[in-house]
């Protein structure tokens, strides 16, 4: 039983790290520059914000917890 739980936890961690690359990394991979990069990053940030808001709603977060969660989620998605 314990081994099964540890295996499930390990798979969850692996899948979390294997998520899609950040928007900044994707823009670099696509070799975007100038206005194309700005446009791509803006759209990507809007999409990330919508997805993070949905996740916060699914977790039933409100107030400061929702704001904090959404901010971190968007930052992680967009990258630096």
Q: What is the pLDDT of residues 22-72, one digit of tens each?
A: 999 999 999 999 999 999 999 999 999 999 999 999 999 999 999 999 999
| Per-residue model confidence (pLDDT) at position 7 | 47
Residue 39 CB partners (closer than 8 Å, separation 6+): none
**pLDDT at residue number 69:** 95
Sorted by sequence, the CB contacts under 8 Å of residue 45 that are 6+ apart come out as 23, 74, 77, 78
Q: Does residue 12 surpass a pLDDT of 60?
A: no
Q: Looking at the predicted structure, is the pLDDT value of residue 17 above 70?
A: no
């Amino acid at each position: 039983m314990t081994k099964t739980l540890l295996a499930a936890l390990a798979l969850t961690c692996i899948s979390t790290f294997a998520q899609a690359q950040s928007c900044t990394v994707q823009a670099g991979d696509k070799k975007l520059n100038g206005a194309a990069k700005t446009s791509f990053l803006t759209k990507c940030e809007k999409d990330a914000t919508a997805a993070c808001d949905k996740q916060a709603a699914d977790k039933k977060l409100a107030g400061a917890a929702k704001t904090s969660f959404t901010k971190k989620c968007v930052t992680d998605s967009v990258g630096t």
